[in-house]
């Protein structure tokens, strides 16, 4: 049995994690075996790499090293967590994946996209998601949400507004390149409205959400 690999993407503060959990609860209630995971992280090694990547103490990290560290954490994650879960027929809900590297290290930092694609193809052995759900959110609102949350901003969140704008535009460019795989969801709305659109965006991918069954 083969599972499904669903990835949530979006700028910092776009509400991905909340939506991912809500969707997972709905799927679990329908009897789907669900696995939640996140990047960078999801494994013991990956969580260590995450610490290195997000701790503002390591401000000297250069873009190529940053891209390779994200890819290294991803390689561990694919092999140890994602592939085994897919083999068991689970629905894997993953908070960020390759598109985060293309958007942040590519459009944000200015690294060559084809180089990033190459690195990531190697890291993931070519595993690509069945669907990418892009939560499109206004940059200023994302920064506001992070400051309201009361936790300190991490190394990436500390980047300036222009960086986050490039990342957002990058995501939209990536989504426009492959409309079959991506769905763009306007996240500047209530949790319920966004969730309803997310479910619609999974029609045809998950049997739990057959077309035409989720119009309420």
Per CB under 6 A, residues contacting ligand TYD are 12, 16-17, 38-40, 54, 70, 95-96, 100-101, 104-105, 154, 156-157
| Beta carbon nearer to ligand TYD, 34 or 119 | 119
CB of 204 to ligand TYD, least distance (A): 26
Residue written as token pair 């068991």: 88
Buried b (16+ CB within 10 A) or exposed e, 96-112: bbbbbbbbbbbbbbebe
| Strand partners for 185 | 135
State the residue number with the nearest CB to ligand TYD. Answer: 104
| Beta carbon nearer to ligand TYD, 88 or 149 | 149
Rounded CA-CA distance 126/109 in Å is 24
CB of 195 to ligand TYD, least distance (A): 17
Rounded CA-CA distance 171/180 in Å is 15
Rounded CA-CA distance 122/114 in Å is 12
CB of 52 to ligand TYD, least distance (A): 12
CB of 1 to ligand TYD, least distance (A): 28
| Beta carbon nearer to ligand TYD, 76 or 105 | 105
| Beta carbon nearer to ligand TYD, 5 or 70 | 70
Rounded CA-CA distance 13/147 in Å is 9
């Amino acid at each position: 049995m083969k599972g499904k690999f669903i990835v949530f993407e979006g700028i910092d503060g776009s509400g991905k994690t909340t939506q991912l959990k809500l969707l997972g609860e709905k799927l679990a209630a329908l009897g789907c075996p669900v696995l939640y995971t996140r990047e960078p992280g999801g494994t013991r090694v990956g969580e260590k790499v995450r610490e290195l990547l997000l701790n503002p103490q390591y401000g000297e990290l250069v873009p190529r090293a940053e891209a390779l560290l994200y890819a290294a954490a991803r390689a561990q994650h694919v092999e140890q967590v994602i592939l085994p879960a897919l083999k068991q027929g689970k629905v894997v809900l993953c908070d960020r994946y390759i598109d985060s590297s293309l958007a942040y290290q590519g459009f944000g930092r200015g690294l060559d996209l084809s180089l990033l694609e190459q690195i990531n193809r190697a890291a993931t052995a070519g595993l690509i998601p069945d669907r990418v759900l892009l939560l499109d959110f206004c940059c200023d609102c994302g920064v506001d949400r992070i400051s309201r949350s009361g936790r300190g901003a991490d190394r990436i969140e500390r980047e300036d507004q222009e960086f986050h704008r490039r990342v957002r535009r990058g995501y939209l460019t990536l989504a426009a390149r492959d409309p079959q795989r991506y769905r763009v969801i306007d996240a500047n709305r209530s949790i319920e409205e966004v969730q309803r659109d997310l479910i619609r965006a999974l029609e045809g991918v998950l049997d739990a959400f057959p077309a035409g069954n989720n119009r309420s």
